[in-house]
Chain A
């Protein structure tokens, strides 16, 4: 059983907000965001090869990785980590190569729920409504097939 994603895409404000709970302690959830070899295991859709050029999850660090689909098309993602506080908070920029020069700012708050559980609260701010809708849409293309497959698995009651 997995925890539900609470997604809010407001009308008229260029934000995307989401919350997701994890049945794991905050230090573990944070570590899975920090260590590049762990990040590589979940950040990319399963059928896409992820190639992490670098992923330096600390204040002043930066990241750059590509997803390559079965069609051989590479999608580049990059940004900088403005602030990273261990087991607590991070704020980063995000840019998708298919939508160049449009950068969103995304914050992540790691909340210790107690009992070994964690809530991840994310807030993304885009420069305009068009940027939000365009980026969110184009950045998702590569992962769509994968996501539907997982949904099917979920509906079939299979364990992911």
Chain B
């Protein structure tokens, strides 16, 4: 679990940068080379390479070794893991509030008032 947390933190930090988020967005449409990824940015290819390294270390992207192009691929499993805690948080909160609805309902019933008419 501690390992998972560490990976998650690394991944979130990697995504804290807007350039890296745009790179991820581009890769979600398919693999691309560093040159292709650098194109839309007004920064050097070296800077883009560094961003890709950060994403690679976070496990968000992989680079294949075959051919000279070494295209960068998205790792969708890693991205899914990232959204997981937010989904968990949402589910737990939703559960809580549904319980709160039930409490309010039973309180209203105990008082013999209809919820919608009670104001």
Q: Which residues of A contact B (CB under 8 A)?
A: 2-3, 5, 7, 9, 11-12, 16, 18, 20, 22-25, 28-29, 31-32, 38, 41-43, 45-46, 114-116, 129-130, 133-134, 136-138, 140-141, 143-144, 146-148, 150-151, 154, 160
Contacts and interface: CB of A to CB of B under 8 A. Distances in A.
Contacts of A140: 85, 88-89, 92
A36 to B, nearest CB: 12
B102 A24 contact: no
Contacts of A141: 88
Contacts of A133: 8-9, 12, 85
B94 A129 contact: no
A136 B92 CA distance: 10
Interface residues of B, number: 35
B8 to A, nearest CB: 7
B116 A116 contact: yes
Interface in B60-103: 85-86, 88-103
Contacts of B105: 24
Given A5-B97, A11-B15, A22-B101, A144 B88 contact: yes
Given A143-B95, A150-B94, A32 B89 contact: no
A160 B98 contact: yes
Contacts of B12: 129-130, 133
B96 A43 contact: yes
Nearest to B106: A41
A122 B108 CA distance: 24
A42 B91 contact: no
Select the residue from B86, B104, B107, B117 with max chain A CB neighbours within 10 A: B104
B107 to A, nearest CB: 6
A136 B89 contact: yes
A137 B100 contact: no
A7 B90 contact: yes
A9 B92 contact: no
B21 interface: yes
A25 B98 CA distance: 16
A144 B89 CA distance: 8
B94 A32 contact: no
Contacts of A18: 93
B103 A38 contact: yes
B24 to A, nearest CB: 11
A137 B107 CA distance: 32
Given A25-B119, A140-B88, A160-B98, A42 B103 contact: yes
